[in-house]
Chains A and B, each alone.
Chain A
Amino acid sequence: MVDMSKLSKARNGKRMAKYRAYRIKKNMKKELPFCTIIYCILTIVIALISFVKPYTDYSAFENRILSHIQRPTFDGVMTGTWFGEFETANLDQIIGRNVFIEINSRTLEFFGKREINSIIVSNNNDCLLQNSNEITDYDWMFIDNAVNDSFINRLCSVKEITDSYNGQLYYLNIYPRESFLYNKYPYINDDIIKYNDEREALMLNEISQKSIEVVDTSDMFKEHYDEYLYFYTDHHYTQKGAYYSYLKLLNAINDNNPEKDRLIFPSWEDMNYVRIDKPFMGSLIQQIGDTQYVDADYLEYALPYDYPGDYDRYEFGGISDLPLVRNEEISEYGWFMNGDNGNTVIKTFRPELPNILIIGYSFTDALELLSIYNFNEMHSIDPRRIEFDIYDYIKKVKCDYVVIQGECEF
């Protein structure tokens, strides 16, 4: 027997489904194509404003020059290269570019992604750390190529020169950031820390064997491990990290020259302490493009109260009015000595004091600022930014002390 009530329900159900489908179809006919309309309006407005607005030349946030739309060339159009440049220029000049970068960061955050452009965001989310953890199995890389022979040969050449005029050479080793911030990494690969430490020990031992004075800051950094010695959002050390490194250097110079007046530097507490309130833009933030970490760090520096105020500054031999500490809207490590410069000389008119030459990359910026206090002339060279011969320069200026920081190329 057919159950009439069920049959009736089923028929009603079918009718209702048909009716619902009819209503949906009818409503859809009435509905405006909102997605299409919104898409067209938004894209046209964004493209128009981006086209009409004046070019932005530089992005402080990304720390780079932004590209402009170039005139098409025949070859560029035929081969397609112009179109690629056009695309890049449009992306660089899009209105609200930083907002898009921000949206991208939030999208990555939604997916729980902590590593962006090889930068890892730490566990507690308040700081950024340079990536030291590839997916590589590090067992393969031990340790045959640990010693950088060509660098040691260069050091020996410099030592020959300094010995020839009774100068002294010091190799300054800064304790690496990965090792200092070790416990903040979200998933540290112990192997790379072990590799770094072992390699460093081998390298320093090799340098010592060449009778070159090694100033190793590792102990100093380990002793002050709870202090703010490295930025979280920048790959450099802080001015306080530079301060401890500088003390270590002065100690080594004093120990090697007991017959000379000791070079004294005040303690951190006894100096004129300045903390910059402006937002700090670390190099690692610039690499991941995420503004939420701008407040994770701050810039501070301390200089002795009797820091020499009377000095002349020279860049590549020409007089310069660049400041010792830059003052701009956004602070960054490049504040010290106005950033990396190829060849800077500061003359403080105190002939009773010795002269120093500091050779290295950007870590020396903060060091140079401090060394002006103890030396009559402070010479600095960033080997990446010079075209002259470093050996000739050393022979020419004959500084009492030559300091080489890190395994720089020259």
Chain B
Amino acid sequence: MVFSSYSFLLLALPFLIVVYILAPEKLRNAILLLFSLGFYAWGGMKYLVVMLLSIAINYIFGIAIDRSNNMGMYVSRIVLAVSICFNLLLLGYYKYTDFLIETINNITEYSIPIRNIVLPIGISFYTFQSMSYLIDVYRGTIKLQRNPFKLALYISLFPQLIAGPIVRYTDIAREIDNRELSKKNFEDGIFRFSVGLSKKVLIANFIGEYARCAFGLRPGEISLVSAWLGAISFTMQIYYDFSGYSDMAIGLGRMFGFHFCENFNYPYISKSITEFWRRWHMSLSSWFRDYVYIPLGGNRKGIGRQIINILIVWVLTGLWHGASWNFVLWGFYYAGLLIIEKLLSKSVKLHWSVSRTLTVFLIIIGWIIFQTNDINHTGMYLRALLDITTNNRLFAQQITRFIREYGLVLVVAIVGATPVVKNTVEKTGVLRIQGVRVILFLLMMGASLARIVVSSYNPFIYFRF
């Protein structure tokens, strides 16, 4: 189930709110767990089995690691290694088997049949959450969760199950046992949810139409203007799509008393790529930092080792995003940029305006690598960015058309991607006035729901005549 659906907005969520409020405190975890499993099963029951299996085995691994901690370092390391291997194999089987077969077929003369394995939704997120739990148990930074239902609730908690943020057990361990049911939490949470829903449905989907069109063009069809506008549109689409989903998750968590970590902090105002990755998908960046980069030695073992560590982390980050060589290339791209920044940071100082512009430019190029289908498509698209052969008339037509169709939403998107709105709202305190909040909430929810209803609007004009 996704948040931006009829089933969730009009059936599941209101039902859950009512039941959760009316239920005695002791039953609230059980209600949330059952709801989360149902929420996940909505995408297909057979994927629920995979997740339940993952939860059960990770529960057992957690106990084993905890016990092995008393048996000496090597034993506990072996148990941890086995548990991590299990999780990586599970993720690898569903996510990378076909990719691996395709690659083998391409570089050898074999023609191994593709398995067409369907990726269970959210598996990348809940696998990483499980691994962070096991590693933290091994490190002794958290207490073992002996109640399997509470561990199941942590891993399957519906707000962050499908698209993050990647919540660490340590962040919500206390709230699983004891959290507050309050009017303020509900009110703040549902408002945050509506903001996220609007970001996704009203801005990301809207401007994404142009991006989809531009990235779907074939060689020869794409011009300089449509290539640039498509890239800018996608840059905005992916931010509003992903940060909108994170807002919805954080808002939903808040409604039920959980305080999830923030996942985005205005990434497009960054003055460097390093800063960008501190502001973009923060839960994933910090996960890789804490569980891969620092254990590999981070920057403590000299510049050569640091460069290797950065490369390892970014190839893994790329692969985490998807099973395609484009994502590997995307990982290398960011690894390269971060290494260059590390090497030049002390010797080169740029004016903030230059560094911000340069950073945004590099981010846009990164999204092109991310969004294109394969390396050839990436090359074609990047060449189109430099194609100055477009005639002036077409240039003017395409610019005019884009400004008229998408200009306003792009301006809204750009302004919203900076802290200007947030600062203004906080300064004026306008959202503290309940009437304003309610009206804004109704407008956002009404417009979003209308967009969702229209998504099934698929007229067939030759049906009757």
Contacts and interface: CB of A to CB of B under 8 A. Distances in A.
Given A31-B183, A35-B187, A107 B202 contact: yes
A136 interface: yes
A265 to B, nearest CB: 24
B5 to A, nearest CB: 6
A195 to B, nearest CB: 13
A135 B17 contact: no
B82 interface: no
B456 interface: yes
B187 A289 contact: no
Contacts of B11: 47, 90
B454 A289 contact: yes
- A: interface residue count bin: 35 or more
A189 B397 contact: yes
B450 A63 contact: no
Interface of A: 24, 28-29, 31-36, 38-40, 43-44, 46-47, 50, 62-65, 77-80, 83, 86-88, 90-92, 94, 97, 100-104, 107, 111-115, 117, 133-137, 139-140, 186-187, 189-191, 235, 283, 286-287, 289, 332-334, 339-340, 362, 365, 384
B144 to A, nearest CB: 34
B288 interface: no
Given A38-B438, A47-B11, A63 B407 contact: no
A63 B44 contact: no
Interface in B379-436: 390-391, 393-394, 397-398, 400-402, 404-409, 432, 434
B36 to A, nearest CB: 16
Interface string B268-300: 000000000000000000000000000000000
Contacts of A29: 183-184
A112 B14 contact: no
A135 B226 contact: yes
Nearest to B230: A135
| Shortest beta-carbon contacts, A-B, top 7 | A80-B44, A334-B465, A339-B465, A103-B450, A140-B220, A100-B453, A91-B456
A289 B190 contact: no
A252 B363 CA distance: 64
Nearest to A140: B220
A43 B13 contact: yes
Interface stretch (B108-116, B169-177, B441-449): B441-449
B345 interface: no
A224 B238 CA distance: 50
Main secondary structure of the interface of A (DSSP, over half): helix
Q: Name which of B44, B391, B398, B408 has the most chain A CB atoms within 10 A of its CB.
A: B44
B354 interface: no
Contacts of B44: 77-80, 83
B43 A80 contact: yes
B213 interface: yes
A187 B43 contact: no
A235 B390 CA distance: 31
Q: Name which of A102, A134, A187 has the most chain B CB atoms within 10 A of its CB.
A: A187
B390 A137 contact: yes
A114 B405 contact: yes
Nearest to B7: A87
Nearest to A44: B14
A46 B445 CA distance: 14
Interface string B206-225: 10001001100100111100
A334 B464 contact: yes
A107 B217 contact: no
Contacts of B456: 88, 91-92
Contacts of B17: 36, 39-40
B457 interface: yes
Interface in B151-194: 183-184, 186-187, 190-191, 194
A35 B190 contact: yes
A36 B190 contact: yes
A187 B404 CA distance: 10
A332 B446 CA distance: 31
A91 B452 contact: yes
B217 A136 contact: yes
A34 B433 CA distance: 12
A133 B453 contact: no
B5 A36 contact: no
A65 to B, nearest CB: 8
22 contacts: A31-B187, A35-B191, A36-B186, A39-B190, A43-B13, A46-B10, A47-B11, A63-B464, A64-B459, A80-B43, A83-B44, A100-B453, A104-B447, A104-B453, A111-B409, A135-B213, A136-B226, A187-B397, A191-B394, A286-B461, A289-B457, A333-B465
Q: Name which of A29, A33, A362 has the most chain B CB atoms within 10 A of its CB.
A: A33
A35 B441 contact: yes
B437 interface: yes
B301 interface: no
B376 interface: no
B401 A133 contact: yes
A79 B45 CA distance: 7
Interface string B24-59: 000000000000000000111111000000000000
A367 B87 CA distance: 68
A190 B11 CA distance: 49
Contact of B10 (A43, A115, A140): A43
Contacts of B400: 187
A24 B461 contact: no
Given A47-B11, A47-B14, A63-B464, A112 B459 contact: no
B463 A64 contact: yes
B9 A365 contact: no
A111 B408 contact: yes
Contacts of A28: 184, 432
B73 interface: no
A101 B226 contact: no
Contacts of A38: 438, 441-442
B7 A63 contact: no
B453 A135 contact: no
B390 to A, nearest CB: 7
B462 interface: yes
Given A39-B445, A63-B459, A189-B394, 8 more contacts: A47-B10, A80-B42, A83-B1, A91-B6, A94-B453, A137-B390, A187-B404, A283-B461
A11 to B, nearest CB: 22
A365 B465 CA distance: 9
Nearest to A333: B465
B347 interface: no
A101 B6 contact: no
B222 A137 contact: yes
Contacts of A340: 462, 464-465
Contact of A135 (B1, B46, B401): B401
Contacts of B344: none
Contacts of A32: 183
A80 B42 CA distance: 7
A111 B408 CA distance: 6
Given A83-B1, A135-B401, A190-B393, A34 B438 contact: yes
Contacts of B402: 135
Contacts of A102: 450
B106 interface: no
Contacts of A77: 44-45
Nearest to B443: A107
Contact of B449 (A50, A100, A191, A286): A100
Contact of A87 (B6, B13, B445): B6
Given A40-B18, A80-B44, A112 B223 contact: no
Contacts of B460: 63-64
